[in-house]
Amino acid sequence: MQGIAVTSSTVPAGGVAPAGRRRRRLRFQPAWLFVAPSLAIILVFIVYPITQSFWYSLHNWRIGAIEQEWEGLGNYVELLDDDLFWNALGVTITFAVVSVIVQVVVGFWLASALLRDTRINRIVRSIFFFPTIVALATIGLVWRFLLDPSIGFVAGLFTFFGAEPIPWLQDTELALPAVIVVSIWKNVGYTMILVLAGLKGVPEHLYEAARLDGANERQLTWNVTIPSIRPTLLFTTMILTINSLQVFDLVYVMTNGGPLFTTDTLVTLMFREGFTNFDIGYASAIAWVLFVFIMIISALQLRFFRYRDVD
């Protein structure tokens, strides 16, 4: 009959047309309703600012200027001749390397020492973890007063024992070590908890087999414990490295990059260029250099700590 013709394109080789195929293709997926708010937030507050900052970095973009001149890679070339940029890069790398290494080592030692789930260990874990939940700006403000050479508690201790107070944050050689120590004190509890979770997941039979082979405690640590928690160490090291390379609050509150830029990091330099000198283009270029640098460091860490289930 003429009114019931079916085109060959809709009939499969078996000769039976699948009912509802076209309807399934056009069917709305309700899952998008749940994903849409998160996607909108990511697009508006993450993707758009990232792309916009790259656009700014290609211009001589200044707040209040009538025209924003095209610079191309001019801001990036200017970074190469900027002594403050290289100083900030060196300070940032020093801060990240020292703080991350010490935090991982001390955190691993604390986690190993407090591994047993006793009441005393739980109390000590809480004491070490407590600074982690306090804001960095608050920590920096407290330690700025504690280390003050005139009214600080540390200066009072020195005076009590007959010693001369030390200007920790005003000395060009002591300011950066002081900030690093405060950063380690604040974050070592976080590292301890992460490593502790990894240690609790190590199968006991691995230790029993190694002890039967005559392994001592040091060999157990290097040949059983560390390889078993390698994914945990990877995650911990990456998170600590990323946070250290982006350090701002602690430095800004304690020293504001001083004295004489000895604690000036890339983020404090970026903040100063963008919100003090109003050079948004140059600050955006610094931000993109930091972004690429973090990506490279993260890729190297992933390769160094590469993990396979067969290991």
pLDDT band of 270, cuts 50, 70, 90: very high
Type of residue at 161:
F
Digit-coded pLDDT (tens) for 84-126: 999 999 999 999 999 999 999 999 999 999 988 889 999 999 9
CATH, residue 116: 1.10.3720.10
Please enumerate, as own/partner, the contacts of 165-173 that have beta carbons within 8 Å and a separation of 24 or more: 169/144, 169/254, 169/255, 169/259, 170/259, 171/259, 172/259, 172/260, 172/262, 173/262
* 250 found inside a domain: yes
* 56 found inside a domain: no
pLDDT at 69: 82
Digit-coded pLDDT (tens) for 141-153: 999 999 998 888 9
The range of the structural domain enclosing residue 185 comes to 83-304
HSE of 157, CA atoms in CB hemisphere, 13 A: 7
* 49 found inside a domain: no
143-161 as b/e: b if 16+ CB within 10 A? bbebbbbeebebbeeeeee
pLDDT at 18: 52
Q: pTM (2 decimals)?
A: 0.84
Query: How many domains does one find in the chain?
Result: 1
Is residue 70 over pLDDT 60? Answer: yes
pLDDT at 66: 73
* 296 found inside a domain: yes
Q: Over the chain, what is the mean pLDDT?
A: 86
Dihedral (CA of 249, 88, 75, 294) sign: negative
* 48 found inside a domain: no
* 72 found inside a domain: no
Taking the C-alpha atoms of residue 139 and residue 127, their distance in angstroms, rounded to an integer, is: 15
DSSP for 34-72 reads: HHHHHHHHHIIIIIHHHHHHHHHHTEE-BTT-S--EE-T
pLDDT at 24: 55
Taking the C-alpha atoms of residue 99 and residue 184, their distance in angstroms, rounded to an integer, is: 6
